[in-house]
Amino acid sequence: MTLTLALVQILNGLQFGLILFLIAAGLTLVFGVMDFINLAHGVQYMVGAYFVAAFTAMTGSFLYGLALALPAALAFGLLLEVLIFRHLYDRSHLDQVLATFGVIIFLNQAVKFVWGAAPLNVPIPDALSGTIEIADGMLYPVYRLVIIAVGLGVGLALYLVVNKTKLGMLVRAGASNAAMVSALGVNIRLLFTIVFGVGAMLAGFAGAMVAPILSVEPGMGDNVLILAFVVIVIGGIGSIRGAFIAALLIGLVDTLGRFFAPTLLKLLLDPSTASQTGRAIAPMLIYILMAAVLFFRPSGLFPSKQ
């Protein structure tokens, strides 16, 4: 019985981790290639969710909603890049942090202004709304399996592009030494824009995918952003592989931790203290994990710059 329960939690952890990966991938590339701290990456995720909510309501179909939300999220990201971000590439990290913080403040309020503060509802498309029996008696939502599959697919595609194509090679080179790449005659501006756009779209895509199963509300990107930061700090800035491994690690540790911490603690403490402490410690687990990793490897597990 507990094994099937554990299996469900593992799948949940995987799904969570893969969503984190989609968000972190863009973030780590933008950091790695452009040395640009983008706190506003979280609102990109939020905006993707809001777009899919709006377009689904408009067209009556989640698939159409998703198809429209993606280019919209890309356009939105590029708009931010042109208006604000590209003026920050040469600035100090402090300036970047503050300016993108300003973007968050603005956009969290803007979506409230446009759509109101109440969470929006995005229905799971009928074809994907059922459950599947994954082990005796345990039913798991099809949609979450779809997210896992899509997440793995995108991860594979990213891996192939970054490691097997010329563009990917430029991106990796840029993450290692952008000045050098530029000196070699590569149009670094174009590279920046592509990296940024892809990152924004991935985050928007992640937001759109989770819209049916999470609350689409103002500020939904904030907590996810912090987690994405933890992912890339652990994984190493500029590394897709690092982001993938760290994201899965965090997804699993967080989900399983929350679930099992009280249970494990019951072996040591009395039930009520165990459940209290468990619930207090669980959200802190990933930060303890991060602290541990950074203690031994201050630049993360797979830093692209030594």
Partner 1 sequence: MNDLIDLDAAPALAAPVQARRVVILPLLLFAIFALVPLAGLWGSQGFVLSIVTRIMVLALAAMSLDLLIGYGAMISFGHAAFVGLGAYSVAILSSHGITDGFVQLGVALAVSFVFALVTGAISLRTKGVYFIMITLAFGQMLYFLGTSLAAYGGDDGLTLASRSTLFGSKILKNDIVLYYVVFGILLGAYLLLRGIVASRFGRVLRGIRENPVRMEAIGFAPYRYQLTAYVIAGMIAAVAGCLLANQTEFVSPAYASWQRSGDLIFAIVLGGLGSLHGAIIGAAVFSLLADILSHYTEHWAMLFGPILILVVLFARGGIGGLLGAKS
Whether 218 and 117 have beta carbons less than 8 Å apart is answered as yes
Distance from C-alpha of 172 to C-alpha of 240, rounded to nearest angstrom: 9
Place of tokens 């994954």: 134
Q: Under the criterion CB under 8 A, does residue 196 sit at the interface with partner 1?
A: no
- Window of 51-59, 133-141, 209-217, 284-292 that interacts with partner 1 by CB under 8 A: 284-292
Distance from C-alpha of 218 to C-alpha of 117, rounded to nearest angstrom: 7
Instruction: Select 141 or 174, whichever has its Cβ closest to partner 1.
Output: 174
Total residues interacting with partner 1, rule: CB under 8 A:
48
Q: Under the criterion CB under 8 A, does residue 108 sit at the interface with partner 1?
A: yes
**118: alpha, beta or left, given left = phi > 0 and alpha = psi -120 to 50?**
beta
**Residue from 18, 70, 73, 107 in contact with partner 1 (CB under 8 A):** 107
Q: What is the smallest separation between the CB atom of 278 and partner 1, expressed in angstroms?
A: 9
Q: What is the smallest separation between the CB atom of 15 and partner 1, expressed in angstroms?
A: 21
Distance from C-alpha of 87 to C-alpha of 102, rounded to nearest angstrom: 14
Q: Under the criterion CB under 8 A, does residue 256 sit at the interface with partner 1?
A: no
Q: Under the criterion CB under 8 A, does residue 31 sit at the interface with partner 1?
A: yes
Instruction: Select 208 or 289, whichever has its Cβ closest to partner 1.
Output: 289
Locate the DSSP E strands across the chain: 131-135, 138-141
Radius of gyration for the alpha carbons in the chain, expressed in angstroms and rounded = 20
Which candidate, 167, 203, 164, 202, places its Cα nearest to that of 186? 167
Helix (H) or strand (E) holding 97: helix 93-115
**Residue from 142, 222, 256, 269 in contact with partner 1 (CB under 8 A):** 222
Q: Under the criterion CB under 8 A, does residue 279 sit at the interface with partner 1?
A: yes
Q: Under the criterion CB under 8 A, does residue 237 sit at the interface with partner 1?
A: yes
> How crowded is residue 58: how many other Cβ atoms within 10 Å of its Cβ?
11
**Residue from 3, 87, 116, 163 in contact with partner 1 (CB under 8 A):** 87
Distance from C-alpha of 40 to C-alpha of 112, rounded to nearest angstrom: 16
**Residue from 6, 58, 105, 156 in contact with partner 1 (CB under 8 A):** 105
Q: Under the criterion CB under 8 A, does residue 283 sit at the interface with partner 1?
A: yes
Locate the DSSP E strands across 166-283: none
Instruction: Select 204 or 238, whichever has its Cβ closest to partner 1.
Output: 238
Phi, psi of 135 (to 5 degrees): -160, 165
Q: What is the smallest separation between the CB atom of 225 and partner 1, expressed in angstroms?
A: 9
**Residue from 20, 33, 49, 99 in contact with partner 1 (CB under 8 A):** 99
> How crowded is residue 121: how many other Cβ atoms within 10 Å of its Cβ?
12
Interface with partner 1 (CB under 8 A) = 31, 35, 37, 84, 87-88, 91-95, 97-99, 101-110, 112-113, 222-223, 226, 229-230, 232-233, 237, 276, 279-280, 282-284, 287, 290-291, 294-295, 298-300
